Structure 1
């Protein structure tokens, strides 16, 4: 998603193996890079993930792959347009939110952000960490019957504040 071409936010909706949508849709924040190796271990062990704070012994060996993934996603100009939302409120004057999508295949871990870090970051506590190289399938198209359900599943609070 892009807000006024200034900020880009990445949210994920999981799909079944046959590319059909999962029954209960809920978006989760996606991290391609910027998280440390201990975050991956915590995620795999189902411990809470501390995304906003680091210890002195923190290592970022994963970040080379993560940076490559971020560059690949950012250079993907073929994302499919889903919707354009215009928001007028006392907080956001004439904001335009462009929602686009693409299918990504990658090994990932679903985790929960630690309470202390969630207070700093905000939004829902669920996060998806992409833990290896990903591939993009720009040929995937959302069924028209699923478009409204996908828009309803987006947690706009994740990036509005």
Structure 2
């Protein structure tokens, strides 16, 4: 007995092959550690509870007449505060986040003695996109500056 294949059989075969193709990639991404899909922020919902406070600190930083400046050059990243700030009174942290791999994330304290600038050498940073979150306090007020930079 000879089996006849009509166009409906070919459509079912095409759908089965397409679903198999998609399932192969889904399983590969889920099982291979090379495709690490971590969250950018651990404990996202706990972080989200303090969103209004974060917005207030961002607005405080935005309202400053003289703002800190983050510059990128061939040697690294420099965070410089204007001369209107007393360097010894600035306290806080600079967090550098790498969205593609959290293993490269790190934090540095903001504590100055004479000059109000912080230099991060390029050898601590790999090339690509970095998110810089600078949380700092000055004169009893809290500030938050967020910036995205690209390192070559």
Please say whether Structure 1 and Structure 2 have the same fold, judged by a TM-score greater than 0.5: no
Structure number, greater radius of gyration: 2
Larger fraction in strand:
2
Larger fraction in helix:
2
Considering Cα pairs closer than 8 Å and 6+ residues apart, tell me whether 1 or 2 has the greater RCO: 1
